[in-house]
Amino acid sequence: MNFRNWIRNIVVLAAVSLLLAILQVEMGWAWTGRAVGVADGDTITILRDRRDQVKIRLYGIDAPESGQPFGKAAKQSLSSMVYGQSVEVEVMDTDRYGRTVARVFVDGDDVNAAQLRSGYAWLYRQYCKDWVCGEWTELEATARSSRVGLWADQNPTPPWQWRRDKKAVFRAEDTDGQPLEYETIPLPKLPFMEVAEQWGIKVTSIPGGAGLYGSYNARARHIRLASPEEMVFLHELAHAAHDRIRPLKGGQRWD
């Protein structure tokens, strides 16, 4: 084989490989494994090739979180279908956390659809763009009208809203609609709070605004928290630590 023919064969092989890769992305590609873990109602761990554990996020659905009503029931529903079973994984995407997003089948039964049918998941319309999502819309509607699973609740909170609220700021008013005095809101038990006390830093709550979760004022030696999340406090405490080692200069943001 002369050099020109060798180059032509390489180019053809590369083109075929690229075409196959494109088809796999567009059509999905499948592999099999055994379900060895169930994290919640839409996330499982699959043992592939008897050695690699792959975390799978079920495509197109969003189940109640463990801290929500029906969160445990959603997990139990999924576990009863997949745990210990041989499953087929049809890969659809990879999410921002590096998890494989997929449709999962057990003996040909669509697990994603089953969670919707039983009322233990919402259709995740923001990300469900495949042709099957039209069929899944009807499954969700039927479960909702039949009031099965989470739909037994009069006004269930979608998990994406629940996650957003959990990371959100302190409420501006109490359950009776009265304004809250933020200086008196008891803070949750936060790690390293004693460090802030030793450094003479005041830590209080404030109402949150757009994009505001907390701030540190170096001059006032004051951490203000608009969110109960530990990471927000630790972030602001890190600013305080920086200020102790090398005082913040003009132009440096305190928040």
Positions annotated as catalytic residues are 57, 65, 99
Report, in this order, helix, strand and coil percent for the chain, each rounded to 5: 35, 25, 40
Q: Is 182 exposed, middle or buried, given 0-12, 13-18 or 19+ CB atoms closer than 10 A?
A: middle
The end-to-end CA distance of the chain, in Å, is: 67
Cα–Cα distance for residue pair 152/120, rounded to 1 Å: 11
CB atoms under 10 Å from CB of 28, counted, come to 16
Which of 182, 169, 159 is closest to 209 using CA atoms?
169
Residue 108 to residues 7, 81, 89, 169, 241, Cα–Cα distance (Å) = 44, 12, 11, 44, 57
Q: Is 175 exposed, middle or buried, given 0-12, 13-18 or 19+ CB atoms closer than 10 A?
A: exposed
Contact present, 117 and 142 (Cβ < 8 Å): yes
Cα–Cα distance for residue pair 27/32, rounded to 1 Å: 17
Q: Within 13 Å, how many C-alpha atoms sit on residue 104's CB side?
A: 32
